[in-house]
Structure 1
Amino acid sequence: MSDTSADVRGGKDMSELDERTIPNGAFADAGSERFDGAAAPAGTGSATLHEDVAAQTAARPTGLWSKLVRDLRNPLFRNGYALMANTAITAVLGMGYWWLAAKLYDPADFGHGQAVITAMRLFASLTALGFVGALARFIPLAGRRTPELIVRAYVIAGATGVTAAVGFLLTLPWWGPTYASLGGFGQGLFFLASVLVWSVFTLQDVTLAGLRKATWVPVNSLGYGLVKMVMLVGLAFALPDDGIFVSWIIPAAMALIPINIFIFGKVVPRHVKETKTTSAPPGLPEIGRFLAGDYPGTFSILAIVYLIPVLIAAQVDEVTFGYFSMAHTLGCLIELLAMNMATSLTVEGSFDRDALAANSRRALRRAFMIIIPIVIVTIAAGPFILRVFGDGFADRGTLLLQLMALAVLPRVLIEIYLSGLRARGQARKLALVQIGLAVLVLVSTMLLFPHLGVNAVGYALLLSELAVAALIVNGLRKMLNYGKTSQSSVASGS
């Protein structure tokens, strides 16, 4: 029997226990009854045994710590918490990075750096984000085809991103003066290389999550974030015009080598060995059918995260875009927390579909437990958070940040629902929800922008995600309650 099979069953057993309501201390007396009086082993005093049992009970973790320890034994929460920790590390180091950038670089150079990074991430993610759902869905089942699946994703994502970026460079006059600096041969070539690097860098995290090694994702982000900040400071004097963009991409390129040596040299061989007998590897037709339904929807979500900022950059000056981008970046980090737990749910749903409904309920509870306090703090402290970067950031970005933080609450419901659809392979419905959300956000942003400026993005996100959450709530309820009715009927019949 493979270790993975044991892990899956162990996770399922823990999940089933967690779903029941067991009063604290329900089994606390079992040990003392077993060793009372004559039942005690020869030569051992009852009082001594009671003291030992009491000492062991006192030593056990209780309350929140006990819950956390139990959660970390469950791959669903272990991977989900690791990805959330990664988001927290990214947020803290990101705020430090952008604070340094705001202090060391001219406001126009700050906005220009943000705009170029946003464009690079747009093209790098064109296919990379499309493979996020597929890798989370199929790596757990890929068996001996795991290396082939990962390499194909890397190659296709990189090639597609670079091709799209070439088209962008050839049409630079259409994108306004903010991107004019990319017209030179050297700058354009570096931009294309950065798209290729970021495509692979994007897929590393979900690859580790699919291999149930998401605990290494925060380690990678910590190293990347620290090196990025050091390079930012050094380039402020050596390369003031492009230092932000260069310091962003060079550490990512440096991180590719050790992480992929770890993935392909150690983690993948172990995964192949553990899963080769658990299921038949998915074939290319099956993966293709999934991507055919999932990618259009993922591409739509990509438009919300990356295309809208590029469109805003083409409409406003570099200084205004710098103010917008800082608030938008922080808002997206909070939204990413909802996606983190959903990614873990997709992985575990692929390992064990029978536990999908129960895992969905747990993921939803944990996600809200973590995200609601963060949303409240962000709304209340938004002006003070942004004022750290400068008065202009707070004056022009506070409302946008608050609206985006509030929009994360309905987004949690949407992401859990989408994750369940991915785990079940319901690609058509998955695409319908995502495309609908993207169309609502893009159209409402364009309609509101002439009247509300950059804050139109926040209003568009909030209104659109509330509308979609209301439309999918019935389907989400069915997914969360799947299996409960039949179980209750069996119990009543018995």
Structure 2
Amino acid sequence: MKDDMRLEDVGRKEETHWNIKSNLQRIILHIRDLFIQTTRIITSKEKLREHARTPLYENAYYLMAGSVVSASLGLIYWIVIARIYSPAEIGLASALISTVGMLSSFSLLGFNLGLVRFLPEDEDKNGTINSCLTMSGLISMMLSIIFISGITLWMPKLLFLKENMVFSLLFTFFAIIGSILFMQRYVFIAFRSVKFNFLQQIIANVLKIPLAIVLISLGVLGIFLAYGSALLLAVILGNVLIRIILPGYSPLPTIKKKVINDMLHYSFANYVAGIFGGISNFILPLMVLSILGAEANAYFTIAFTASMMVFTVPCAIATSLFAEGSNVPEKLRINAIRSIKLSFILLIPLSILIFLFGDKILLLFGRAYSENAFKLLSIFIISAVPISIIETYVSVERVRRKVGNVLVTYVIMATSTIVMSYLLMTRIGLVGVGIGWLIGTGIAALVVTTRQVRFILEM
């Protein structure tokens, strides 16, 4: 009897060993195919064109390009502003702009993701788009009124918002416009036409520069008007571009209860999950400031901001995967594989460049940043790999409407990142934050990898 049990145990171990070995072999084959396909694409103009025209890749590239262009033009904008406006005016205007952006973002309530998931299969696309735009506009108006009403409590330096009716009305109006612009972005993502949003971003970021110069005599109001007017023009352009994709579309204030009710659970669950997904970005700087001090926080901010540009790659690809999966759900698995492959194709050379020249790039901010932020930046860059795995998994689960899995994944990532960063920061300093971030994203990636690999290998 004992011999039979031993033989059975040995058989199970051998079977487990064989399964692990078999899965590893299949993963190695996928990696080998990745390099072969990459070489073929790079060395063939025809395959390069075919690659660029594939919706998954095309939209991912436009999303990446949009982030780079917005960041670059935004930097140019503030450089120009700094030369013609006083520091006090810039300080107040930047606070207004940041607050408008925050309120506009909060007002989405996840309906932006609901649009991407449900719009492709919706029969009444006009009603769905307008209902989401109207909801976000109303919520942003409500949030703006609440913010202005209690401004003496949370931001007394912006008290002039409450005292000056012109500023109050403009602040509320631009918050509404900002929320509409955010929502239009996801309309284009849902229709797999991100190139139109890319055009919007260029228009908004370019126009505010000459507008700020023309309105210089208005001081703080001039900067704020330039910013808001550029948003308004981008929204008007967006309505025109939506009509190209959806002939007959009219941007009318509408709230269809059935549309909202059908999307509410999915959208709000994604909204809550998104809060956990991004909460580390807000908490870590505060932790560094309170524990390690202002100087360390400056190094952290530069390293983290630089790494966020790299994280744009897997996040853009995952967003494109979400749109593709919503439009063509039967190709979700093959597109998930393509997404992971593309992430690695782009991240490997980009990471190598940063490892080799990152310290030189940081010299642009000063020698102290090069000496104190480079190690942290290098650790953040390594975490792009687990982030790719996490974001691909999240997009797949969003398409499959398993938002609970998305929430659990982000909660695990946020909790482990914050806890590990705190513990390591207090022991080994600033580098501990990077290691904590890497461990946190790594733990979340490990948790989802089993499901991810099983899902992909079903191909």
Q: Is TM (by shorter chain) over 0.5?
A: yes
Q: Does 1:142 align with 2:118?
A: no
Give, in whole Å, the separation in 1 of the partners of 2:32 and 2:122.
33
Mapping of 1:408-423 within 5 angstroms?
408-423=384-399
Deviations 1:214-264 (A, max 9, x none): 1222222222221123334455x435546555443321121111211221x
More RCO (CA 8 Å, sep 6+) = 1
Deviations 1:333-374 (A, max 9, x none): 432332221111112112222221111011111122223333
Deviations 1:74-128 (A, max 9, x none): 2222222222222232233233334444555556655555444333222211142
Q: Tell me the residue number matched to 1:266.
A: 244
Closer/same/farther in 2, CA of residues 261 and 170 from structure 1, 3 Å limit: same
Query: Structure 2: how far apart are the matches of 1:249 and 1:391?
Result: 37
AA matched with 2:142: T
Q: Which runs of 5 or more residues in structure 1 are unaligned?
A: 1-17, 25-59, 272-281, 485-494
Pairing partner for 1:298 from 274, 277, 287: 274
Q: How many residues align?
A: 418
Read off the aligned partner of 1:151 and give its amino acid letter: N
The structural deviation recorded for 1:63 is 1.6
CA distance 1:342–1:351, shift in 2 (3 Å): same
1:386 Cα shift?
5.5
Q: Sort the Cα spacing of 1:466 and 1:61 in 2 relative to 1 into closer, same or farther, 3 A.
A: closer
Q: What is the 5 A alignment of 1:208-219? A: 208-219=188-199
Question: Cα–Cα, structure 1 residues 330 and 439, in superposed 2: closer, same or farther, change >3 Å?
Answer: same
- What is the aligned-residue RMSD (CA, Å)? 4.4
Among 147, 152, 158, the alignment partner of 2:137 is: 158
* Farther off after superposition, 435-444 or 330-339: 435-444
Which residue of 1 is the match for residue 204 of structure 2? 224
The one-letter amino acid of 1:371's match is L
| Residues 1:155 and 1:415: Cα distance change in structure 2 (over 3 Å) | same
Residue identity opposite 1:80 in structure 2: A
- 1:248 and 2:214 aligned: no
Q: CA deviation at 1:194?
A: 2.5
Q: CA deviation at 1:416?
A: 0.6
Equivalences for residues 65-214 of structure 1 within 5 A:
65-101=45-81, 113-128=93-108, 130-143=110-123, 145-175=124-154, 182-185=161-164, 186-214=166-194
Structure 2: gaps spanning 5 or more residues: 1-29, 250-257
| 8 A contact 2:386–2:442 mirrored in 1 | yes
CA contact (8 A) 1:91 1:333 kept: no
SS at match of 1:212: coil
Matching residue's letter, 2:247: P
**Which whole-Å CA distance do the structure 2 matches of 1:323 and 1:348 have between them?**
38
Aligned to 2:141, the other structure's residue is in SS state: helix
- Inter-partner Cα distance in structure 1 for 2:163 and 2:298: 23
Distance 1:257 1:375, change over 3 A: same
Distance (whole Å) between structure 1 residues aligned to residue 182 and residue 163 of structure 2: 27
Q: What is the match of residue 21 of structure 2? A: none
**C-alpha displacement at 1:450, in angstroms?**
8.7
Amino acid at match of 1:154: L
Query: For 1:454-493, what aligned pairs fall within 5 Å after superposition?
Result: 461-482=437-458, 484=459
> Relative to 1, partners in 2 of residues 1:403 and 1:242: Cα closer, same or farther, differing over 3 Å?
farther
Distance 1:375 1:130 in 2: 32
Q: Work out whether 1:430 is the aligned partner of 2:409.
A: no
Matches within 5 A, 1:250-399: 250-263=229-242, 265-269=243-247, 285-304=261-280, 329-378=305-354, 380-382=356-358, 385=361, 388=364
Is the 8 Å Cα contact of residues 207 and 230 (structure 2) preserved in structure 1? yes
| Structure 1, 410-419 or 243-252: larger mean CA deviation | 243-252
Secondary structure at the counterpart of residue 247 of structure 2: helix
8 Å CA contact 1:300–1:434 kept in 2: the answer is yes
Normalised by the length of structure 1, the TM-score is 0.69
Q: Give the C-alpha shift of residue 398 in structure 1.
A: 6.3
- Shift of the 428–215 alpha-carbon distance from structure 1 to 2, 3 Å rule, reads same
Counterpart of 2:122, as a letter, is A
**Is this contact kept in 2: 1:324–1:454, CA < 8 A?**
yes
Contact persistence 2:55–2:192 (CA under 8 A): yes
Secondary structure of the 1:269 match is coil
CA contact (8 A) 2:389 2:445 kept: yes
Query: Structure 1 residues 294 and 180, CA, compared in 2 at 3 Å: closer, same or farther?
Result: same
Structure 2: distance between partners of 1:335 and 1:444: 20
| Compared CA separation, residues 404 and 20, structure 1 to 2 (3 A) | closer
Change (3 A) 1:332 1:253: farther
Change in Cα spacing, 1:452 to 1:19, as seen in structure 2 (3 Å) is closer
Letter aligned with residue 410 of structure 1: P
CA contact (8 A) 2:212 2:223 kept: yes
Letter in 2 for 1:293: A
Conservation of the 8 A alpha-carbon contact between 2:287 and 2:422 = no
Tell me if structure 2 keeps the 8 A contact 1:178–1:317: no
Question: TM-score with structure 2 length normalisation?
Answer: 0.74
What SS does the corresponding residue of 1:346 show, helix, strand or coil?
helix
In structure 2, what is the Cα distance between the partners aligned to 1:130 and 1:138?
12
Tell me which amino acid in the other structure corresponds to 1:351: N
